[in-house]
Amino acid sequence: MRVVSTPLQELALTNCAYCSPSDMSRYRRPKYEDAMALVNGILVLTLRYPFTTLLASFVQPTGSLALNAYQRRNVKVSVGDPISVESFDPLSVSRMTVVSVELDTLMKNKKSSDQVDARNLSKELTKRFKGQVFSVGQKAPFEYLGTNYSFHVISMLLDGQLENAGSTQGLLAPDTHFQFETAGNSGFKISNQLGGQSTNIFKGKDLNFQKLGIGGLDAEFQDIFRRAFASRVFPPHIIAKLGIPHVKGLLLFGPPGTGKTLIARQIGKMLNGREPKVVNGPEVLSKFVGETEKNVRDLFADAENDQKTRGDQSDLHIIIFDEIDAICKTRGSTRDGTGVHDSIVNQLLTKIDGVEALNNILLIGMTNRKDLLDEALLRPGRMEVQIEIGLPDEKGRFQILSIHSNKMKENSFLSADVDLKELASKTKNFSGAELEGLVKSATSFALNRQVSAADLSKEIVEDNIKVTMDDFKSALDEVKPAFGAAINTLEMCRLNGMLNCGERHAHIQRTVMTFVEQVRKSERTPLLTCLLEGPGGSGKTALAATIGIESGFPFIKIVSAENMIGLQESTKCGMITKVFEDAYKSPLSIIILDDIERLLEFVDIGPRFSNVILQTILVLLKRSPPKGRKLLVIGTSSLVRVLESMSLLDAFNVHLNVPQLKPADMKQVLKELNVFNPADIDNAVTALDEEIPIKRLLMLIEMAAQGGDEGANVYKGDHKIELAHFFEIVGDHIVFRN
CATH class of 218-388: alpha beta
Q: Which of 189, 308, 540, 572 is catalytic?
A: 540
CB atoms within 10 A of CB 495: 8
Q: Are 586 and 527 in contact (CB under 8 A)?
A: no
Average pLDDT of the residues in 291-304: 85
Who has greater pLDDT, 47 or 516? 516
Query: What confidence category does residue 533 fall into, taking pLDDT thresholds of 50, 70 and 90?
Result: very high
pLDDT at 31: 43
pLDDT at 187: 65
Who has greater pLDDT, 401 or 94? 401
Rounded Cα distance, 361 and 320, in Å: 11
Who has greater pLDDT, 24 or 208? 24
CA distances from 223 to 172, 235, 244, 308, 496 (A): 43, 21, 18, 31, 49
Q: 3-class SS at 187?
A: coil
pLDDT at 34: 36
540-551 and 503-521 helices, crossing angle to 10°: 40
pLDDT, one tens digit per residue, over 492-506 is 777 767 778 888 889
- Phi/psi for 423 (5° steps) reads -65, -40
Establish whether 108 is a catalytic residue: no
Strand partners, 603: 608
Which CATH architecture group holds 408-473? Answer: Orthogonal Bundle (1.10)
pLDDT, one tens digit per residue, over 322-370 is 888 877 878 776 665 566 667 888 888 888 776 667 778 888 888 888 8
Closest CA to 362 of 506, 468, 251: 251
473 Cβ partners below 8 Å, 6+ apart?
none
pLDDT, one tens digit per residue, over 183-227 is 766 667 777 665 544 445 666 555 566 666 677 777 787 788 888
Establish whether 622 is a catalytic residue: yes
Domain-wise residue ranges, the chain: 2-91, 96-194, 218-388, 408-473, 487-503+515-654, 663-730
Q: Which of 622, 671, 682, 709 is catalytic?
A: 622
- Phi/psi for 731 (5° steps) reads -90, 5
Who has greater pLDDT, 239 or 419? 419
DSSP H/E element including 555: strand 555-559
Q: Which of 23, 315, 594, 665 is catalytic?
A: 594
Task: Compute the half-sphere exposure of residue 458: CA atoms within 13 Å on the CB side of its CA.
Answer: 12
Please indicate whether the domains covering 96-194 and 218-388 agree at the CATH topology level: no
pLDDT at 515: 95
Q: Which of 315, 325, 595, 665 is catalytic?
A: 595
Q: How many residues are there in the chain?
A: 738
pLDDT at 637: 94
Q: Are 485 and 554 in contact (CB under 8 A)?
A: yes
* % the chain with pLDDT above 70: 81
pLDDT at 617: 95
694-706 and 663-673 helices, crossing angle to 10°: 40
Choosing among 3.40.50.300, 3.20.20.140, 3.90.420.10, 3.90.700.10, the CATH entry for 487-503+515-654 is 3.40.50.300
- Look at residue 723 and tell me whether its pLDDT is greater than 80: no
Rounded Cα distance, 600 and 564, in Å: 11
Which amino acid is residue 200, in one-letter code?
N
End-to-end CA distance of the chain: 116
pLDDT at 593: 95
CATH no. of 2-91: 2.40.40.20
- Look at residue 290 and tell me whether its pLDDT is greater than 60: yes
Query: What confidence category does residue 614 fall into, taking pLDDT thresholds of 50, 70 and 90?
Result: very high
Query: What confidence category does residue 591 fall into, taking pLDDT thresholds of 50, 70 and 90?
Result: very high
421 Cβ partners below 8 Å, 6+ apart?
398
Choosing among 3.40.50.620, 3.30.750.24, 3.10.330.10, 3.65.10.10, the CATH entry for 96-194 is 3.10.330.10
pLDDT at 317: 85
**Is residue 231 exposed (0-12), middle (13-18) or buried (19+ Cβ within 10 Å)?**
middle
Q: Are 91 and 42 in contact (CB under 8 A)?
A: no
Establish whether 540 is a catalytic residue: yes
pLDDT at 657: 93
pLDDT at 43: 43
Is the pTM for the entire model greater than 0.85? Answer: no
Query: What confidence category does residue 737 fall into, taking pLDDT thresholds of 50, 70 and 90?
Result: very low
240 Cβ partners below 8 Å, 6+ apart?
191, 192, 312
Q: Which of 105, 261, 529, 541 is catalytic?
A: 541
Strand order of the sheet with strand 527-533? 555-559, 588-593, 630-637, 527-533, 654-657
Establish whether 720 is a catalytic residue: no
